Amino acid sequence: MERFVTLVVAGGLALVAGLWAVRLAATLSAGWLGGVALTFLGLAALGVGIGRELSTDW
């Protein structure tokens, strides 16, 4: 499978899991902070995966 597809899929799954963790955990608990970190990790993976396929040639 192409690298960008792996990053987009993994990033999307991490984003959804992180948002669920944030929603279900008590604010500022360890689970909540882990969910926030997972959410940002998912966003970063999505950005990198999408960025690999964007062409900067004009």
**Domain extent at residue 26:** 3-53
> Is 8 within a domain?
yes
Tens digits of per-residue pLDDT, 1-58? Answer: 788 999 999 999 999 999 999 999 999 999 999 999 999 999 999 999 999 888 777 6
Q: Could you please report the per-residue DSSP string of 18-57?
A: HHHHHHHSPTTSHHHHHHHHHHHHHHHHHHHHHHHH----
Tens digits of per-residue pLDDT, 17-27? Answer: 999 999 999 99
Q: pTM score, two decimals?
A: 0.86
> Is 27 within a domain?
yes
> Is 17 within a domain?
yes
How many domains does the chain fold into?
A: 1
> Is 40 within a domain?
yes
> Is 58 within a domain?
no
> Is 16 within a domain?
yes
